[in-house]
Amino acid sequence: MDTIHIRGGNALFGETRVQGSKNAVLPVLAAALLIEDVCVIDNCPRISDVHHMLMLLEGIGCRVSRKNRSVTIDARNVSDDTMSGENVTGMRSSITLLGAMLGRVGEITMAYPGGCVIGERPIDLHISALRRMGVDICERESNFTAKVRKLEGTVIRLPLSSVGVTENVILAAVKAKGVTVLQNAAKEPEIVTLCEFLRDAGAVIEGIGGSTLIIQGGHPLHGVSFRIPADRIVAGTYLMAALGAGGHIFLEDAPSAQMHSMIKAAEQIGADITVSREGLNIMAQEKKRAIPYLRTEIYPGFPTDMQSLIMPVLATAEGVSVIEETVFENRFRIVEELKRMGACIEIQKKSQALIVGTDSLLGCEVSAQELRGGAALVIAGCMAQGETVVKNCHFIERGYEDICRDLQNLGVTIYTG
Ligand code: EPZ
């Protein structure tokens, strides 16, 4: 069944391991396509977005095998007669295949990835960046074809620090003729992971972790064994669950160094957090304080993916909080569901949510409409009095290996229906 049942209102106690990062592994899997060799990716999370990406890679000629959380990708036999662009169907992360396919084979026809409830998700910046590298792109009503004989290194300055566009330019640039300088690049940890994977495979990339990347194209790439870091947003999800419901938890393998902004917000609300090499130790204080103004920003600011996840926590904090969403244009869909649970939230100026803290939330039936909003409803269920039933949980499975298993490890009464 596509539902999760939670009996909330009790503090969390226990420890759980944090899975590998969805947003790091997807571009790394696409990058494996550039390497005419065998790559082994460890700590690969078992989530539906990875499953779909592996199917796409198989559809274009890669041999893929998986043993537990280790995925082996043999891309030695991908060639333009084994893959037809039509295999690549619309899935958000498939847009990351664009740069890799151009780098490997020089042509791809794919459907527009399509928007989702959090925003239009256009690809205009992907197209303009790749055109600057010599790619000819023919756009049609429902799909587009990108073709290039030889990618050319060039200077590209992004109008905004898009994660996906940064990834596509990197993937194309490692195979381009000459040097590509990418300015105003995204600095998210997932970009660093992609660059480290490609550097291990023989690519020459300077400025990793900064906003200007210099990629020398044409260096031969060889197979690598690579471990995906833990998922900072999944770790942040369980951090917020403990903050909201109270208690004392330990998140093994949590990538603390990538979580400064969310740890700072949690301490502002009322948590004592200890960082160690092994993970994150969180003690939630009884009283939760509001955050007068919290703004989502590109890394290292407070992540947009954490915005829905902190909302239920602030809904029961003492005082008034304002969250400003600056990255996506429609990322407050969860507000109506939280109001049904008793939250007092109003949207103002389209990009701001004003939250007046109430004593507690009340369990009821709610519906997930996208990945992080769905996970946020599970957090709300952990905090609420009584039972909460979250429907449409397939959205949550896109990014969480097993949110019920992880929260059961933390003492929550939760099960799939
Ligand atoms: C990545 O999406 C993540 N997805 C998102 O995580 C994350 O929220 C986002 O980065 C921001 O951090 C993956 O990594 C698979 P963007 P992406 O391009 O690359 C606009 C999750 O929950 N834009 O940085 O699509 C865009 O509309 C997901 O795991 C254009 O206008 O995000 C948005 O407003 C949700 N034109 C802004 O840029 C373009 O051509 C930032 O988007 C591309 C983007």
Interval between CA 213 and ligand 1 midpoint (Å): 19
296 ligand 1 Cβ < 6 A = no
pLDDT tens by residue, 45-76: 999 999 989 998 998 889 999 999 999 999 99
Mean pLDDT of 107-133: 86
pLDDT tens by residue, 340-395: 999 999 999 889 999 999 999 999 999 999 999 999 999 999 999 999 999 999 99
66 Ramachandran zone, left/alpha/beta (phi>0; psi -120 to 50): beta
Model pTM above 0.85: yes
End-to-end CA distance of the chain: 5
Q: Which two tokens stand for residue 265?
A: 């917000």
Identify which of 95, 121, 309 to mutate to test ligand 1's pocket (most ligand atoms within 8 A of the CB).
121
371 ligand 1 Cβ < 6 A = yes
Interval between CA 187 and ligand 1 midpoint (Å): 13
| pLDDT at position 85 | 45
Per the annotation, the verdict on 116 as an active-site residue is yes
pLDDT tens by residue, 15-36: 999 999 999 999 999 999 999 9
pLDDT tens by residue, 275-316: 999 999 999 987 899 999 999 999 999 999 999 999 999 999
Ligand 1, closest atom to CA 49?
15
pLDDT surpassing 50 at residue 83 = no
Output the CA angle 116-301-374, nearest 5 degrees: 35
Instruction: Give the rounded percent of residues in the chain with a pLDDT score beyond 90.
Output: 85
Last residue of a domain, one of 200, 227, 254: 227
Please, which residues bridge with residue 274 across strands?
Answer: 281
Side-chain half-sphere of 294: how many Cα atoms within 13 Å? 28
Select which of 116, 382, 393, 404 is catalytic: 116
Shared domain check, 67 and 14: no
Last residue of a domain, one of 179, 195, 227: 227
Interval between CA 413 and ligand 1 midpoint (Å): 34
Identify which of 96, 160, 184 to mutate to test ligand 1's pocket (most ligand atoms within 8 A of the CB).
160
- CA–CA gap between residue 78 and residue 87 (Å, rounded): 13
Last residue of a domain, one of 186, 207, 227: 227
- CA–CA gap between residue 341 and residue 364 (Å, rounded): 6
Shared domain check, 330 and 218: no
Shared domain check, 274 and 223: no
348-374: b or e for each residue (b if 16 or more CB lie within 10 Å)? eeebebebebbeebbbbebbbbbbbbb
Interval between CA 236 and ligand 1 midpoint (Å): 18
Nearest CA to 186 out of 52, 301, 56 is that of 301
Domain that holds residue 235: 3-19+230-416
Length in residues, the chain = 417
Shared domain check, 286 and 210: no
pLDDT tens by residue, 167-213: 999 999 999 999 999 999 999 999 999 999 999 999 999 999 999 99
Nearest CA to 364 out of 389, 343, 346 is that of 389
User: Is the preceding peptide bond at 300 cis, omega within 30 degrees of 0?
Assistant: yes
Shared domain check, 249 and 188: no
| pLDDT at position 114 | 66
**Using CB atoms within 10 A of its CB, is residue 209 exposed (0-12), middle (13-18) or buried (19+)?**
middle
Find how far residue 172's CA is from the centre of its chain: 21
23 ligand 1 Cβ < 6 A = yes
> Residue 94's domain is classified under what CATH number?
3.65.10.10
Q: Which two tokens stand for residue 21?
A: 């990062």
- Residue given tokens 């300088």 in the structure block: 181
Nearest CA to 370 out of 70, 115, 82, 53 is that of 115
Interval between CA 164 and ligand 1 midpoint (Å): 6
Cα separation values, 53 from 138, 368, 370, 399, Å: 24, 23, 18, 13
Shared domain check, 119 and 108: yes
Shared domain check, 111 and 127: yes
295 ligand 1 Cβ < 6 A = no
Domain count, the chain: 2
